[in-house]
């Protein structure tokens, strides 16, 4: 295994030890410490499976993910001003910023891990995409962008689809990339890896948030009295599916403008 595998294990072990025997102010950084460890471990496993990974072969792209992860999540913080679906306890602004850096890398690395395992390799059917369908998806993106603001109680689920609906048609039509583009060329396996990457990552998000301090709590309409796994109502985990699709669309869009070549996550 690569060196960063062992670095990741050390970070995870350190975070677990600090949870059992908390030492301030280190305990305040539990979330980023354990997530950086997770990302390093998963990336090294991807390299072991594919002989290629972001850290080893595409370090610039790896760093780029952390940089764009902050503005990506700040868009959802804006929507939360209207929906008020979650609230934070014990965070400072600088802990927030560090926490936000791990969002895109965590989902992308999970996506690459699932893809490397070839769990869905037999699903190679072509998913045809017509131009009018791309226009319709983009219009849905516009609706999704305003619905959580105008109708927060009922429109909050649409915020998780905003970037997917708005950017996938652009990724497809102008950048010749993105998930829909890959699906139209027979890579349905990438779609299944993408929708599974969300709940996979979400499980660890909720687990480690449940154990951490500082942490966040939820106030989701129609779900607060439902059974929970950690702090999240069980139906809420379905929200990680559109969220992972938005992560991929956002990353592909900005990657193409910066690096100008085929995105390594689809290789």
What residues form DSSP beta bridges with 86?
Answer: 218
Pairing relationship of beta strands 232-233 and 215-218 according to DSSP bridges: unpaired
Torsion of CA 230, 192, 121, 41, to 10 degrees: -40
Give pLDDT, residue 124: 77
Give pLDDT, residue 261: 73
pTM: 0.95
Give CA 162 to chain center in angstroms.
14
Give pLDDT, residue 50: 94
Closest C-alpha to 147, from 130, 159, 129, 131: 159
Closest C-alpha to 114, from 57, 182, 190, 222: 190
pLDDT tens per residue across all 267 residues of the chain:
899 999 999 999 999 988 888 877 888 899 999 999 999 999 999 999 999 999 999 999 999 999 999 999 999 999 999 999 999 988 887 888 899 999 999 999 999 999 999 999 887 788 999 999 999 999 999 999 999 999 999 999 999 999 999 999 999 999 889 999 999 999 999 999 999 999 999 999 999 999 888 889 999 999 999 999 999 999 999 999 999 999 999 999 999 888 877 788 887
Give pLDDT, residue 249: 97
Give pLDDT, residue 108: 98
Which residues span the domain enclosing 126? 3-266
Number of domains forming the structure of the chain: 1
């Amino acid at each position: 295994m690569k060196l960063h595998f062992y670095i990741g294990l050390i970070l995870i072990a350190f975070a677990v030890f600090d949870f059992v025997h908390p030492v301030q102010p280190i305990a305040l950084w539990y979330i980023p410490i354990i997530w950086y460890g997770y990302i390093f471990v998963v990336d090294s496993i991807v390299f072991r499976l594919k002989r290629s990974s972001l850290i080893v072969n595409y370090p610039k792209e790896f760093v780029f993910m952390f940089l764009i992860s902050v503005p990506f999540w700040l868009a959802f913080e804006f929507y939360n001003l209207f929906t008020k679906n979650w609230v934070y306890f014990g965070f400072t602004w600088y802990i927030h910023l560090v926490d936000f850096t791990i969002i895109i890398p965590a989902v992308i690395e999970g996506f690459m891990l699932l893809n490397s395992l070839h769990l869905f390799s037999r699903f190679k059917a072509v998913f045809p995409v017509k131009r009018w369908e791309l226009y319709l998806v983009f219009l849905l993106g516009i609706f999704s962008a305003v619905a959580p603001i105008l109708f927060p109680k009922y429109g909050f689920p649409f915020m998780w689809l905003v970037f997917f609906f708005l950017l996938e048609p652009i990724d497809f039509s102008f950048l010749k990339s993105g998930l829909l583009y890959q699906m139209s060329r027979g890579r349905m396996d990438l779609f299944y890896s993408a929708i599974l990457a969300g709940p996979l990552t979400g499980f660890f998000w909720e687990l480690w948030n449940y154990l951490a301090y500082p942490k966040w709590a939820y106030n989701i309409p129609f779900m607060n009295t439902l059974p929970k796994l950690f702090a999240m109502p069980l139906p809420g985990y379905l929200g990680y599916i559109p969220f992972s699709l938005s992560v991929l669309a956002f990353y592909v869009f900005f990657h193409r403008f910066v690096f100008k070549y085929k995105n390594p996550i689809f290789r």
